[in-house]
Structure 1
């Protein structure tokens, strides 16, 4: 993606953008990647960005599984 262009990925719930950005920064720190000062992640390697995204997905799945095992869930 060229510099300054937005990703084609869109959130299902646009109001969650700020929380997801904060979550991405927290996860990046957990895997040892410092956030870019500019907020632009395009200068990072695909491997680093993939590590952040993969860890985010694992954490979201873990949270959902915990929610389901507690008897709750979004479909109830």
Structure 2
């Protein structure tokens, strides 16, 4: 049975940049991200806050890029 991964990256090379962004956002929020990559011991509120801030930052980056294209 094959799995349909909805969170697969369109550009696999972006994985390192997204990981870096995750650690930057977590540090800004004062949330310690587990170095072993296991998030099972983190509060849902913390992981959600990190994800929400990442989304906001990615939207902001995209808006800035689009604004630069249409000048």
Question: Alpha carbons of 1:64 and 1:8: their partners in 2 closer, same or farther (altered >3 Å)?
Answer: closer
Unaligned runs of 5+ in 1: 1-6
More helix by share: 2
1:48 deviates by 0.5
**Aligned pairs for 1:27-42 within 5 A:** 27-42=25-40
Higher relative contact order (CA 8 A, sep 6+): 2
Aligned to 1:4: none
**RMSD across aligned positions (CA):** 1.9
Aligned to 1:3: none
TM-score under structure 2 length normalisation: 0.78
Q: Figure out how many residues of one structure are paired with residues of the other and give that number.
A: 66
Aligned to 1:60: 58
Deviation beyond 6 Å, 4+ runs, structure 1: none
Unaligned runs of 5+ in 2: none
1:10 deviates by 2.1
